[in-house]
Amino acid sequence: MQALTLSHATRQCPTVSVARGSRMSKPSNYTKESVKAFASAVLQGFGCSKLETDVVASHLLDANLTGHDSHGIGMLPMYGEQVLDGNLVPDQAPRFLDTTGAISIVDAQRGFGHRMALLALDHAMRNVPEHRVAILALRNSGHVSRVGAYSEYCAAQGYVSMHMVNVVGHAPIVAPFGARESGISTNPISMAMPVDGRAEPLLDMATSTVAFGKVRVASNKGEKMPPGCLLDEQGLETLDPDPMALSRLGSLSAFGAHKGSGLGLFVELMAGALGSTDTVATMEHLPHGVINNMFSIIIDPTAFDSREAVAGRTHDFCQFIKSRAPAAGTQSVLLPGEPENLSRDQRTTSGIPLDVQTINQIVDIAVRFELQADTVRGLLESKRA
């Protein structure tokens, strides 16, 4: 059988390369070691401890490896701005609030979400042996980034899980179905089944047609967005990512018309109205603010059947899906999570592509934390793939 490559993974909404001036320089590829060293230097400059630096840098690196550059090290400039504004707190300690039965509530106190979410999940999962299920409401967290990472974390411990995340702290950026202005945010949802400690399959998606970060990536690369992703300030379709990426003007569309819009609305309600104290309608709008609330459901499959039986049925069903005849123009049916695994393999070998604009933005924020531009840049440039 022919080996699958990433080109088989037709993403829902790929960007369209259109040269638009000086930003359009070809990205260079960097090794994962150099990307992690580069990100780690910047995070330590922000004031993160070695432990937190490792957790956050590993998360961002893996987002780049899985092909989600929107949630990789390109987030560092925004994190730096938030630290400077006092809206993101390095080395924060979470507050563990009430636990009622299987339900845990954790206030991240605006700590780095990548670490806060893992601490909160550890706390919640202590309930699983007694209740066979745990429900976590993580509130007031810094950006948790790639939500699939938390499905992977639960699957590694043998649990099925679902995570719904709303985004407050900035004005809404996604137009609900039927509206010409924004009312919700990109509200991602992720779920996975555990098979031998791996999350397979793993669905991890924004409920907007594309994540906001993909608009930033397109803008930095000088690319246009494909049709169907963006509305301008008048509610008319646009392909230009810059007003949204640079000034948050206009709206992203919800995926799947009224159905995706309805799902995004319920993610907002589960994570914001039920699990936390704010929806995007009520949370103050911070200058560079992104606060995530995450509502997680973690299930022990052995409450239903043996671990092996559930994993076996999951595996068999996935093989059934993969055996379906590919659609015209598609070489193979992929499962959710497969494009990310293929990308991980490919980028581990060939390196992670980073464009000049993104690198410059990261170096610029590092300098504002009194790091030496040449030193930080050198960590990346020394090991091109």
Site residues (CB under 6 A) for ligand NAD?
9-12, 68, 70-71, 143-148, 165, 167, 186, 188, 190, 203-206, 210-211, 214, 292, 334, 336-337, 339-340
Q: Which amino acid is at 230?
A: L
Alpha carbons 34 and 40: distance in angstroms, whole number: 10
Kindly tell me which of 34 and 186 has the beta carbon lying closer to ligand NAD.
186
Kindly tell me which of 107 and 152 has the beta carbon lying closer to ligand NAD.
152
Alpha carbons 122 and 117: distance in angstroms, whole number: 9
The first and second tokens of residue 182, run together, are 């924004």
Burial category of 26 from C-beta neighbours within 10 Å (exposed 0-12, middle 13-18, buried 19 and up): exposed
Kindly tell me which of 12 and 350 has the beta carbon lying closer to ligand NAD.
12
Q: Which amino acid is at 46?
A: F
Q: How far is the CB of 123 from ligand NAD (least distance, A)?
A: 20
Closest-CA residue to 146 (of 80, 64, 225): 64
Q: Which residues contact 83 (CB under 8 A, 6 or more apart)?
A: 46, 47, 89, 90
Q: How far is the CB of 305 from ligand NAD (least distance, A)?
A: 25
Alpha carbons 365 and 44: distance in angstroms, whole number: 12
- With contact defined as beta carbons under 8 Å apart, do 165 and 267 qualify? yes
Q: How far is the CB of 41 from ligand NAD (least distance, A)?
A: 23
Kindly tell me which of 63 and 380 has the beta carbon lying closer to ligand NAD.
63
Which residues of 50-159 form beta strands (DSSP E)? 95-100, 103-107, 133-141
Strand 133-141 relative to strand 251-253, pairing: unpaired
Kindly tell me which of 204 and 223 has the beta carbon lying closer to ligand NAD.
204
Q: How far is the CB of 372 from ligand NAD (least distance, A)?
A: 31
- With contact defined as beta carbons under 8 Å apart, do 84 and 368 qualify? yes
Q: How far is the CB of 100 from ligand NAD (least distance, A)?
A: 26
- With contact defined as beta carbons under 8 Å apart, do 361 and 23 qualify? no
Q: How far is the CB of 31 from ligand NAD (least distance, A)?
A: 22
Q: How far is the CB of 67 from ligand NAD (least distance, A)?
A: 7
